[in-house]
């Protein structure tokens, strides 16, 4: 078992590589939204695999107050977060 302390600061924002569906309107700026032919909206991901709203220098969310509902639900230390950690070890 790893003894590395789990924290967003040493996780390289692993969860910000996931496909994030926009299921409520939280005010995400248009430039960060991708809309498919069916009208389904997700957070835009760039060629490096991360969400376009991720600040690549600080590895923090640049739209934290406007982040999607799914991002608000995904808390550090939650089951989903711990599973993400396990997957990258």
84 binds ligand SF4 (CB under 6 A): yes
User: DSSP strand E in the chain: where?
Assistant: 33-35, 41-43, 54-55, 60-61
Q: For the CB of residue 57, give the shortest distance to ligand SF4 in the complex, in Å.
A: 13
Residues in region 36-55 near ligand SF4 by CB under 6 A: 43, 51, 53-54
Query: Between the CA atoms of 61, 62, 67 and 73, what dihedral angle is there, to the nearest 10 degrees?
Result: 10
Residues that bind ligand SF4 (CB under 6 A): 6, 8, 11, 13-16, 20, 43, 51, 53-54, 61, 63, 67-68, 71, 74, 76, 81, 84
């Amino acid at each position: 078992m790893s003894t590395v302390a789990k924290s967003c600061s040493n996780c390289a924002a692993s969860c910000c590589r996931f496909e994030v569906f926009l299921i409520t309107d939280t005010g995400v700026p248009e430039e960060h939204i991708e809309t498919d032919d069916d009208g389904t909206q997700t957070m835009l991901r760039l060629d490096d695999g991360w969400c376009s709203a991720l600040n690549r220098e600080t590895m923090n969310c640049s739209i934290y107050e406007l982040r999607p509902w799914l991002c608000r639900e995904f808390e550090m230390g939650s089951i989903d977060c711990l599973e993400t950690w396990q997957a990258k070890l």
